[in-house]
Amino acid sequence: MAKPTARPTAGGYSVQSLGTGAVSPHERTDFWSEHVASYQTRMDFRYAESESFRGEMTRQRSGTYQLVTWECDPVEYVRTPGLVRQDPEDGYRFLLPFSGELLLRQDDREARLAPGAGSLLTLSAPCRVLNGQSVSGAILSIPAQEIDGPLNLKAPLATGIDLTTGLGRVVNTMILSAYQEREDLTTAQFDAVLDRVVELLCMLATGDDRPDAPGHLTEVEAMVRRHVRDHAADPGLTGTSMARALGWSLRQIQLALQRVGTTPRDLIREERLRLVRDRLRCADCENLTITDLAYASGFSSASALSTAFRQRFGVSPREMRGAAAG
């Protein structure tokens, strides 16, 4: 059986490509099922044809995100109630076809996706994805907390997200560019791009990009996020200092962030943790101790950083640095 080709890059980011071209005809569907399940989660696979099946895919992966682009013959992927119980998976997937049509079913809802549209679905509930004839596309794996927190709910299937204009087109372009530049990205760069993609997806899923959305609060939220990103390392950054710097009341800022399920304090902590994560993976910051990183990223102490970091990422800063170095 043919082995996939893989190229690890700096800091744990890797690019892997595989295809059925060099696989014996009678092994092709098993080959495809095995790798799709290992990249995503356990599913049932229903193939229109077996020995003539053809498929290729490329996976880009870091410790936080995974982006898989694929092209294959017709196949139906089924996440049954039994598989949901046996193999829990609380993450999300954002699907967008480049060609052909995908049919998605979840929670008694159905979405037909053609190029220019995308959908967000959860794998913690049963679902079906029918890959039609001559379909190619991308599927972005997103940790549950990146969606549940900003949307302040367990997100249902968000269907028919328009990727042809406005914010949707920006998202589509960013995902496509992340794939096209796959060989030249570092872990920090890959994660930074997809952090922004997920942030924009949350706005699309809640309709915050619509002209009739509460425009003022949306504007406040966008400006606050930009301000926090630019000043996360400032130990004096608070909701009050943001309000003073941006010319809004603290109440306006609190209301804008409440709409997307967060607070000034939580937003500041999240951006600081992402800043530390990126610096832990950056070769230029290898000489900084964890204490140095804590103070340089706005935390009051190394212990405060370590506690918050483990709660957010499941490992300590030292452990993540060791994994990146390995």
Three-state DSSP class for residue 286: coil
pTM, entire model: 0.66
Residues 251 and 124 in one domain: no
Q: Which residues does residue 321 pair with via DSSP β-bridges, in sequence order?
A: none
Say whether pLDDT at 125 is over 60: yes
- Residues whose CB is less than 8 angstroms from the CB of residue 30 and which lie 6 or more positions away in sequence, other chains included: none
Residues 67 and 174 in one domain: yes
Confidence of residue 40 (pLDDT cuts 50, 70, 90): very high
- Mean pLDDT score across all residues of the chain: 86
Confidence of residue 210 (pLDDT cuts 50, 70, 90): very low
DSSP E strand stretches across the chain: 5-8, 14-19, 44-47, 55-61, 66-72, 75-79, 92-99, 102-106, 109-113, 117-122, 127-131, 135-142, 158-162
The pLDDT, as a whole number, for residue 228 is 93
Residue 195 counted as domain residue: no
Residues 294 and 168 in one domain: no
End-of-domain residue from the set 144, 163, 185: 185
**Greater model confidence, 80 or 146:** 80
Residues 181 and 288 in one domain: no
Residue with tokens 């079906």: 128
Residues 38 and 180 in one domain: yes
Residue 158 counted as domain residue: yes
Residues 174 and 291 in one domain: no
Confidence of residue 289 (pLDDT cuts 50, 70, 90): very high
Residue 243 counted as domain residue: yes
Return the ∠ at Cα 92 (arms to 214 and 304), rounded to 5°: 80
CB atoms within 10 A of CB 273: 21
End-of-domain residue from the set 163, 185, 207: 185
Q: Of how many residues is the chain composed?
A: 326
Distances in Å between the alpha carbon of 9 and those of 12, 57, 105, 319? 6, 18, 36, 19
Q: How many domains does the chain have?
A: 2
Residue 207 counted as domain residue: no
Residues 155 and 43 in one domain: yes
Q: Which domain holds residue 135?
A: 5-185
Residues 139 and 224 in one domain: no
What CATH number corresponds to the domain at position 310?
Answer: 1.10.10.60
Residue 201 counted as domain residue: no
CA dist 296 and 275 (Å) reads 10
Mean pLDDT of 289-312: 93
pLDDT in tens, 224-277: 998 999 999 999 999 999 888 887 778 878 888 887 788 999 999 999 999 999
Residue 320 counted as domain residue: yes
Mean pLDDT of 131-136: 90
CA dist 12 and 43 (Å) reads 27
Residue 307 counted as domain residue: yes
The pLDDT, as a whole number, for residue 213 is 43
Residues 31 and 134 in one domain: yes
What CATH number corresponds to the domain at position 20?
Answer: 2.60.120.10
pLDDT in tens, 213-222: 445 567 788 8
Reading the block at residue 58, the tokens are 């490329």
Residue 155 counted as domain residue: yes
Residues 165 and 257 in one domain: no
Q: Which of 318, 277, 272 is nearest to 298 (CA)?
A: 272
CA dist 129 and 211 (Å) reads 31
Residues 176 and 237 in one domain: no
Residues 243 and 127 in one domain: no
